[in-house]
Structure 1
Amino acid sequence: MKIGEPSLDQLRIFLAVEEEGTFGGAARRMGRAVSAISYGIAQMEQMLGVTLFLREGSRKPELTDAGRGLLPEARAVADRADALIAKTRSLHAGLESEVGLVVDVMVPGEVTARVLREFRSMFPTVALTLRVEGLGAVAACLLGGESHLGIGGPVIADSPDLERQVIGQVELVPVASPAHPLARAGIKTGESREHLQLILTDRSSLTEGREFSVLSPLSWRLGDLGAKHALLREGIGWGNMPRPMVAADIATGILVELELPEKPGANYTFSAIWRRDTRPGPSTSWLIDAFRNALK
């Protein structure tokens, strides 16, 4: 037996009858005559070679085993068609079909998660690609075309190809294990130079060779902030960390905030960054405002 291909309209009729419970309810929902609904179901049954609803002996059509088995696939096809139509309407309205976002590793993870949860609700048809990078690698993603919008820090070299808006900041604090020699009171100027400092290093060439808040000649350079955090918790070295990332550790005594005379902590300023030859679309502009509000 040759199986035909039901139309999208027939699939929608099938779903409407199942959801409304009657042919009449489906007809009212779709603005059709009951005879048109009945004909659509009959045509679909003929194409597939199965009976979808039991109609005899009951005023309410009941799904057959075959109907129940085909229902998830019919719903999936209709949903995908709805998504296609919604995305096409968005494109005609000027909404981006996709957004590439690169976020500085210093942005608190809960901030990024909260913004993107709201983004998904606001722009369900926009595909998003997220990257988390440090220092100059944020700008490198924009200049290389891998991302459309960056939320980056102050250490990115100024580029004539990039536009930026300051949107917030996070406090960096020097921390170490409670057993670390620098954790005691009365640290003298210069003592920090005698101990291993953990430093976040740039994985791009934009700020290669530049040093940021480095006091000690004894240093380990790490490309991952999570690895730096783990080493500090294990009592290896000292270093600056975003306060939100270590607040729980400080509260529980796993880490302590260091009172160093040099005061190496600072406010790490964030900017929204994009290429000057592009213009942020509606969802990209929404992301800029959302991060600005979240980072206040």
Structure 2
Amino acid sequence: MSRFDKYRIGSKVRLADIDPGNKGFLKGDEAAHGAQLDALAIQLDELQNLMHAEGRRKLLLVLQGTDTSGKDGTVRWVFSRTSPLGVRVAAFKAPSLEEQAHDFLWRCHAVVPRTGELAVWNRSHYEDVLVPVVEGWIDKATTQRRYAQINDFERLLTETGTVVLKCMLHIDKDEQRQRLQARIDDPSKNWKFSLGDLEARKKWSDYQRAYAKALDATSTDVAPWYVVPANSKTHRNLMIAQLLVKTLKDMKLSVPPPDPALKGLVVR
């Protein structure tokens, strides 16, 4: 049994079961945490390089969470030592008019990882079963169809060589309040704040219910959801880094066999 199983959404684990303040992946003091994260980041770079060399598979990391949950910070710290040649980040914002003119998964296909690549989605196709649900733009029947279409889409990815890893960054309402206030109080961080964040905050309970339903409906054997306690930024980073390293190791990556034509070749 993996230590990550207690955070994996399934028949027994649900969003409400996970304490956002949990620090189960923290050991030692602050200095030790920094050293652990740096070592994991280096290991992640080595494993990604191996996946690129193998040239057969890909990895997609989906990061979801409420405003201020730390999606940007996760990318910044977990991939701090990874070559930008092997990692591609896509940020999903409100759909453009062009994107709205297509099915809701259309914009996703263009940014799935290429062979040998690790792709990170900062928000994702799950926005289309969160915001429209809370705002009442789609009905229950449409929502259920979208859940099924998402599961089919992710199965397509896994059947064509992509490992799909989905992390919900879980913070509580008071932690969000503190982080929003910090953005307001610090002029250098005002650019990170939007009045729209306060409007969304008024619907906190509605979003929590929408998240819970979406996670329950779309956590599958081939594309599981993990709930990451994220009140502690350090805990968030270390847990995701360890989960990524474990996932890549479980893929049993290997370099291609040596080219017989190179045997005995001497460069002069």
Above 0.5 in TM-score?
no
> Which structure: greater helix fraction?
2
Larger-Rg structure: 1
Greater RCO (CA < 8 Å, at least 6 residues apart): 2
TM-score range, shorter chain: under 0.3
> Which structure: greater strand fraction?
1
TM-score w.r.t. the length of structure 2 is 0.28
TM-score w.r.t. the length of structure 1 is 0.26
